Amino acid sequence: MNQNSMVKISGLNQFYSGSHTLWDLDLDVPRGARMCLMGRNGMGKTTLLKCLMGLIPATSGEIIYDGTRELRGVSADRRAGLGIGYVPQGREIFSQLTVDENLRVGLEARSLSNAKRRELTAYIHSLFPVLKQMGGRRGGDLSGGQQQQLAIGRALTLEPKLLILDEPCEGIQPNIVHDIGDLILKLNKELGLTVLLVEQKLPFARRVASDFVILDKGRAVAKGAIGELTDDLVRKHLTV
């Protein structure tokens, strides 16, 4: 077993009814990596993340987490409890609940002392001061970028070892895109958090990621250090 992997996926296949969507996928996310999953729309990026989170079943293959644990057959809640934080595409915060309540949902899923809960809340507020300022506002009243920050803040209530972000910059203002890039770099550097993100914007991927993998029609067709993402690969698999 490779102890240097935070997640190691081997031979993963997935079907939506009759439609074969992921094909014999292998993916190794080393501990401490910032791995960017790339590919055009409909290539299977979100499907792969959902299989990893246990939100949809894989048909075959193996997902080894944190060196030893086989995740297939483990519920999504349990995977979260093992330290996998997930920020879904489209964010999916609770729009009727306040910002504070959204964070509390994450915190109360864990059995923490009040002191620990306060400490974590203060940490999340220090990363996202806007969430403190807007604590009483309904999630649905925030801007897209603020909702994204809330969704990331909520994922951090788990104190994850692995943070998964599905298109965190989709539909948000450029200044917040930049802040989210900074945040990913900071969490990775300061906490050693391993990050797996889907991102289609090349400048963001090049700035934030350490490694990349490209999906094309459900197959991993190229991977490497982010510096090896050539214009040729971009032309072939990423531009429309």
Ligand X SMILES: Nc1ncnc2c1ncn2[C@@H]1O[C@H](COP(=O)(O)OP(=O)(O)O)[C@@H](O)[C@H]1O
- CA–CA separation, 205 vs 167, rounded Å? 11
Any contact of residue 157 with Mg ion (CB under 5 A)?
no
Q: Which option in Mg ion, ligand X, none does residue 234 bind, with CB closer than 5 to 8 A by kind?
A: none
Contact track, ligand X, 92-121, x by CB under 6 A? ------------------------------
Of 41 and 113, CB closest to ligand X: 41
Q: What angle do CA 198, 202, 206 make, to 5 degrees?
A: 90
Any contact of residue 47 with ligand X (CB under 6 A)?
yes
Of 28, 44, 88, 91, the residue at the interface with ligand X (CB under 6 A) is: 44
- Taking CB under 6 A as the binding criterion, the range among 39-47, 57-65, 180-188, 226-234 that sits at the site for ligand X is 39-47
* 3-state SS track over 14-38: EEECCEEEEEEEEEEEECCCEEEEE
- CA–CA separation, 166 vs 146, rounded Å? 16
Shortest approach of ligand X to residue 57 CB, angstroms?
12
Nearest one of 91, 228, 112, 222 to 165, comparing CA atoms: 91
Any contact of residue 43 with ligand X (CB under 6 A)?
yes
Residue nearest to Mg ion (CB): 46
In sequence order, which residues have a C-beta less than 8 Å from that of residue 151 and are 6 or more positions away?
87, 88, 91, 92, 93
Nearest one of 213, 189, 185 to 199, comparing CA atoms: 213
Any contact of residue 88 with ligand X (CB under 6 A)?
no
Question: What torsion, rounded to 10 degrees, do the Cα atoms 86, 3, 37, 229 define?
Answer: 150
Any contact of residue 14 with Mg ion (CB under 5 A)?
no
Shortest approach of ligand X to residue 74 CB, angstroms?
21
Any contact of residue 16 with ligand X (CB under 6 A)?
yes
- Taking CB under 5 A as the binding criterion, the range among 78-86, 88-96, 133-141, 187-195 that sits at the site for Mg ion is 88-96
Bridge partners of residue 20, in order along the sequence: 15
Any contact of residue 46 with Mg ion (CB under 5 A)?
yes
184-202 exposure pattern, b = at least 16 Cβ within 10 A, e = fewer: beebbeeeebbbbbbbbee
Any contact of residue 21 with Mg ion (CB under 5 A)?
no
Bridge partners of residue 75, in order along the sequence: none
Of 41, 113, 114, 239, the residue at the interface with ligand X (CB under 6 A) is: 41
Binding interface with ligand X (CB under 6 A)? 16, 21, 39, 41-47
